[in-house]
Structure 1
Amino acid sequence: MTTPDTPGTPETPGASELPATPGPRPAGAAAWLRERSELGVGLLLALIGILVLTDAFTMDVDIAQRGPVGPRTVPFAVGTGLLVVAVLLTADVLRGGRGEAEGGEDVDLAELGDWRTVLLLTGVFLAFAVLIEPLGFPVAGALLFWGSAFALGSRHHHRDPLIAAVLAVATYAVFDRLLGVPLPGGPLMGVL
């Protein structure tokens, strides 16, 4: 039996419904690593953990500290946590565990990233880094909070600057006045 479109070729019932047979799978170390790509994440976490712990061990700390929790406590906890997670992830991957594909996200992976937002946020952070010394944290922080909200899509032009100013002044007050972490006050702090 031949199909009407192509004379002389036999018709295969359901040929279009047959799955394509995969080609030969590459063998060797490259294929083994490709199937276990999560090992790269484990290696990255281990390297960051080692870096954090090394930095914590070499930190110059005043011996007379004000309590049981010193400046090395958080880096030790974070570095140790990173190493533990790296070991657990590596063990899981070597036992055959695999991460699940993103099923619940409504993100189209075929679409390009939103570079406008990325560039706006980069500009806001760079402006904050440049302006924090001359203007002080309250003004530079307000610009950071407002600029980030604008870059991420908020268009409340009357409300956003007010919220940003309150957040910046509150953050400055908590860190500089309550916690004793010195932040540049700038010219407005003489008024407050």
Structure 2
Amino acid sequence: MNTNGVSRRQWLREHSELGICVLLAALGVVVLVDAATIATDFTQRGPVGPKTVPLIVGALLLVVSALLVRDVLRGGRGQAEAGEDVDLDAPSDWRTVLLLTGAFLANAVLINVIGFPLSGMILFWGSAYALGSRNPVRDPLISAVLSVGTYVVFNHLLGVPLPGGPLMGVL
């Protein structure tokens, strides 16, 4: 018991947000330690090296953790989100989960066989179908535009090679 008659367990329960503070601080330390191990033995282009962003992110994680600790110890409490309109008594929609999983796995299995444009189209169309869209003309067209557009942006504009499959010569 504390001098106030509050047990340590009760105090921790009332300040449970401190767990998030510990998680943020630990993540910040991991990012900083990992950033310190980045090799800089190559030619740097410009003033910003490969360590800059991880060091900033790690330091900001530590700062946010410290500010959150201060807020919690001063009586700040996380508020439950009132805007969610979720029925917690409703059963899980396993059909949708399984359809989305199937579309994702089909993409993963087919991407190297038929290429990203076609496997991405299957992924986008399958996701739209799983989430309730049933338009037989619009859904495949939007899926094709999204998939081919993503392929062109990554492959040609960003220089990130994606498997083209049979459409390799066309795109």
Give the TM-score band, short-chain normalised.
0.7 to 0.9
Equivalent residue in structure 2 for 1:156, among 112, 135, 148? 135
Equivalent residue in structure 2 for 1:38, among 17, 40, 55? 17
Per the alignment, in what secondary structure is the counterpart of residue 191 of structure 1? coil
Tell me which amino acid in the other structure corresponds to 2:117.
P
Q: Which digits, 9 at most, give the CA deviation of each residue in 1:74-127, with x for residues without a partner?
A: 544544444443333333222211111222222122333333323322332232
Q: TM-score, normalised by structure 2?
A: 0.77
Per the alignment, in what secondary structure is the counterpart of residue 103 of structure 1? coil
Unpaired stretches in structure 1, ≥5 consecutive residues? 1-25
* Bigger mean CA offset, 46-55 vs 114-123: 46-55
- Tell me by how many angstroms 1:68 deviates: 4.5
Residue in 1 aligned with 2:77? 98
CA RMSD of the aligned region, Å? 2.8
Higher relative contact order (CA 8 A, sep 6+): 2
Q: Does 1:168 align with 2:132?
A: no
* Bigger mean CA offset, 122-131 vs 73-82: 73-82
Residue in 1 aligned with 2:170? 191
Name which one, 1 or 2, has greater alpha-carbon Rg.
1
- Tell me by how many angstroms 1:178 deviates: 0.8
Unpaired stretches in structure 2, ≥5 consecutive residues? none
Of all paired residues, the percent bearing the same amino acid is 67
Q: Does 1:177 align with 2:164?
A: no
Q: Which digits, 9 at most, give the CA deviation of each residue in 1:45-75, with x for residues without a partner?
A: 3334444444444445672355455655554
Q: Which has the higher helix share?
A: 2
After superposition, the Cα gap between the structure-2 partners of 1:45 and 1:129, relative to the gap in structure 1 and judged at 3 Å, is farther
Work out the CA distance in 1 between the residues paired with 2:45 and 2:135: 45
- Tell me by how many angstroms 1:180 deviates: 0.9
- Number of aligned pairs? 167
After superposition, the Cα gap between the structure-2 partners of 1:100 and 1:112, relative to the gap in structure 1 and judged at 3 Å, is farther
Per the alignment, in what secondary structure is the counterpart of residue 190 of structure 1? coil
- Tell me by how many angstroms 1:169 deviates: 0.9
Q: Which digits, 9 at most, give the CA deviation of each residue in 1:112-149, with x for residues without a partner?
A: 33333233223322322222222221112112211222
